Structure 1
């Protein structure tokens, strides 16, 4: 991705650096139990309100400033939302001896779920199918029987929009351990996923006719969520490190309301880590520059971070020695790029976290972190809309990450995920090196996430040279050629923030997230063949492509084609560097 034609200076405003002074009683993994003991036993029944200050601790944030107020940015819709008046009565349920004839809560006697059992890996045995697992068991009345702080009778009942207090405590602790927001009145509230969180944020901050900002290539659902609300997206130029602060400043400084047909934007949507679709990751220096621009123009940042913990080991090439994994939790946390939330001295960031990419997308559980003012507004939307996430999902996740794994075990799981995605990324990078025509195709190895962004030099295509096709027509022709060769990538045009704006680059997005290792390799081989076919290049030479037992080629459409860089085998009898069972060695693949 080329940088913008003009580079302008960006004024980065001063910010506090929490590393320059001692933070009293900052939460660590080791001090979680001590803080919980000091806070006393958590008693949270049906639809219990959550005291987040108690979860955060009494001393670790008092020295910090309060967040900036955003009254001047909130929409009439969110200002007029008063939340659920009936749920406000839930605060009285803690009154000793109270007999409730108020809330319309069904009796737990009629919940047809007596127990829920879920088999999960033990610490140190993260992979599915590996020996070493135990069964999580949640009963109907575990709280009353003193077995657990959360049970089916509570989880299956109506709840607060912010989610169950028991699980919210873990979320608040995790957020403080990882990000330690540098202002006092930060808060968390659960979501039913990042897309819903983004929808709520748009309703809170934007009105029809408004513009927002995002990377020039962005998550299509972010644009498609904004469009029905009458909100348009302006793209900000990128390079291999993501959004350019200079381009962001340029767009805002030169905003013309008459040309754009709308006021200057004040909301920035960004995926800073493992960006979808480009796979780019903003280094901390870039994040500080962007934050400075946001301070200068008074932007509010929606930090969408589903891939944050899929930051991988550096890619050093196919022949490089493996880089050792993090040796401790501290080393792991120090190795990941600090978040916008962690440098947010103003409270101008709403960070959206998710379990979708590291646990399961079907759980539909995530959370936002923002100032208490913004979280309060968010909760009023949830209380009369989605309400909280599924109680069953909350209960299962609580049992897993709080009761079984704890914060330490969850970080072990995240380290495991890091190494697994590193292996997947490396397989795709090695296949790209081996099979793609580098005079036509270029790429930057992703540092995080699930996606690989592949640039095509369309100017070398015969039909482009003779002027017989448009950019969109050529992209579609190459896309269909890739399909005919038996693989699927996403067209780059589908990810444009401003789809009507002329493009001068052509990209396709691949993912290494789910396919088996041999399928990743085969798909990239087919991609290379498709590009050569479309561009009229010579076939690959000096090697034999086989895909079956004992070198037999089966179930593919590659005829009269061979592979470079040695023999590819993918079946049994694989030794001496041959790829077998998903394991690569330094030899023939």
Structure 2
């Protein structure tokens, strides 16, 4: 089963999806930069994606979203203090001495140098970094000394809410290379990770007493963030590809405000299209096109949360099958990714949230959003009075890694590397499930992205005559697995509608952190817990042998057969 390829649709209708062929490439970065003004890298320097992206000839401008913004968001004014910084870069005023902003002198920053050791592509493994990684040093006054365009003097002082110009340029170029938004006035803004960005987006769009849309099983933090704001979640039904456009249409077409205490028809959709948390489902290209068309039909604004976008993996082929060759080039890698909703967005109705948390490290707390100029401007107004800007230290570390060491080509090399690494981890947990879980009650689909494996349990085969509810049986399985030595996550924890448990039972596992041999052992223990709860016989003489790389190999009791689509039958 080949992965979907990039979107390529020609259209003129405002109810269809269009992209443009003049896509920015990795090889075009140097030429683009040579025609740009020299980057202004001073303390709290103003920066905008308009400084770094293409002109967007022939692309339409985004729709206005005044009718969707909250009163709080509409009422926010620009920061007087941050706005004053623009005068420091005014070329018409020479020698301007600032007594305006409360910026501490870097003379009193107790850091003279910061050294980090980073990998040189393609040598990305921990052992290779120890042996051949290079040390990148940042000094306090590298800019003044002509050594770099970013240093401690700038990074550790206050900054603009869009983020530093140095890292904003990189993510703007990256966004254009990968997604090429098909409208003219898109921009990026740096964030303190996607959780913070989501919180601010809710404050921009959500009104107490109203409803928002999301998958019926959703990222628990996304739901837990919005509920205290007095907003309820409506769960849209899912299948193996995630959110169902037909159910989304049905909910909105049949909305009854009177039955919902006068609440208006929801128009905000939160979705995780790739490697969805918790289900691991990935929306296909066609599915995303259908969701976008429903968004146009019902004037929905979409929050596209994509921390796992670059954790799209090689097709699952099953144990003992030959590996699928990795992407042969940067362009082949990008084309193998399912196109984003942002890449389909001709209206400017998508706020895409990207993060370095899953592909670099969560502790850096650096990400970015992409949206229309209007939405970015409102987002920045929220940031100015809350997070202000991402950590300067973190932005400096990311700059040294992404800009000064890897460049766009090296970053794509890294993303290809982790694609292959996560493919091994996904395959390992799937092999273990095929080996250890009782097929009488457990089923699953191998995920094609992310770090989660979603298992369905046929709870109605529970043997007791006590009449236990589904949630009681779920709890029994959960604790039985703990007693056996495996911690999993209950599917009920992720229900968008907490008062509706649904009819199906699921458990979520992750294959991201634990070593491969421990993942196999944990699945074996979970299988044993299921057999104990459902009074099933333990397999006769079956056992699992570990290969040298920690992957589960076929043993004496055989493996489940696969269908032509690669899904376990």
TM range (shorter): over 0.9
Question: Residue 430 of structure 1 aligns to a residue in which SS?
Answer: helix
Residue 371 of structure 1: aligned partner: 372
Displacement, 1:260?
2.2
Q: Deviations over 1:66-96 (max 9, x none)?
A: 0000011111101111131111100011143
Displacement, 1:502?
4.0
Q: Which structure exhibits the higher relative contact order, with contacts defined as CA atoms closer than 8 Å and separated by 6 or more residues?
A: 2
CA distance in 1, matches of 2:77, 2:14: 36
Displacement, 1:474?
1.1
Residue 442 of structure 2: aligned partner: 441
CA distance in 2, matches of 1:27, 1:234: 38
Question: Residue 27 of structure 2 aligns to a residue in which SS?
Answer: coil
Instruction: Write out aligned runs for 1:10-159 (5 A).
Output: 14-18=15-19, 22-23=21-22, 26-57=23-54, 59=55, 61-95=56-90, 96-130=94-128, 131-159=131-159
Q: 2:44 touches 2:160 (CA, 8 Å); kept in 1?
A: yes
1:494 paired to 2:496: no
- Structure 2, gaps ≥5 residues long: 1-12, 559-569
Report the aligned-residue RMSD. Answer: 1.4
Aligned residues: 539
Q: Deviations over 1:500-534 (max 9, x none)?
A: 01411000000000000100010010011000000
Q: 2:234 touches 2:496 (CA, 8 Å); kept in 1?
A: yes
Instruction: Write out aligned runs for 1:334-373 (5 A).
Output: 334-373=335-374
Residue 202 of structure 2: aligned partner: 202
CA distance in 2, matches of 1:16, 1:252: 21
Displacement, 1:132?
1.8
Q: 1:13 touches 1:292 (CA, 8 Å); kept in 2?
A: no
Displacement, 1:542?
1.6
Question: Residue 395 of structure 1 aligns to a residue in which SS?
Answer: helix
Q: 1:482 touches 1:488 (CA, 8 Å); kept in 2?
A: yes
CA distance in 2, matches of 1:583, 1:521: 8
Displacement, 1:257?
1.4
Q: 1:83 touches 1:381 (CA, 8 Å); kept in 2?
A: no
Displacement, 1:129?
2.1
CA distance in 1, matches of 2:423, 2:524: 20
CA distance in 2, matches of 1:202, 1:184: 25
CA distance in 2, matches of 1:17, 1:196: 31
Displacement, 1:245?
0.2
1:173 paired to 2:168: no
Question: Residue 517 of structure 2 aligns to a residue in which SS?
Answer: helix
Question: Residue 381 of structure 2 aligns to a residue in which SS?
Answer: helix
- Structure 1, gaps ≥5 residues long: 1-11, 544-562, 570-577
CA distance in 2, matches of 1:541, 1:421: 32
Residue 405 of structure 1: aligned partner: 406
Q: Deviations over 1:19-54 (max 9, x none)?
A: 5xx43xx42100101110111321221111113222
CA distance in 2, matches of 1:406, 1:13: 37
Q: 1:13 touches 1:296 (CA, 8 Å); kept in 2?
A: no
Q: 2:48 touches 2:162 (CA, 8 Å); kept in 1?
A: no
Q: Deviations over 1:334-367 (max 9, x none)?
A: 0000000000000000000000000000000000
CA distance in 2, matches of 1:404, 1:293: 42
Residue 562 of structure 2: aligned partner: none
CA distance in 1, matches of 2:353, 2:74: 21
Q: 2:213 touches 2:270 (CA, 8 Å); kept in 1?
A: yes
CA distance in 2, matches of 1:221, 1:13: 34
Question: Residue 462 of structure 1 aligns to a residue in which SS?
Answer: coil
Question: Residue 127 of structure 2 aligns to a residue in which SS?
Answer: coil
CA distance in 1, matches of 2:402, 2:495: 37
1:234 paired to 2:229: no
CA distance in 1, matches of 2:14, 2:107: 59
CA distance in 2, matches of 1:430, 1:307: 22
CA distance in 2, matches of 1:16, 1:354: 25
Question: Residue 411 of structure 1 aligns to a residue in which SS?
Answer: helix
Displacement, 1:581?
4.7
Q: 2:495 touches 2:501 (CA, 8 Å); kept in 1?
A: no
Q: 1:159 touches 1:387 (CA, 8 Å); kept in 2?
A: yes
Q: 1:83 touches 1:384 (CA, 8 Å); kept in 2?
A: no
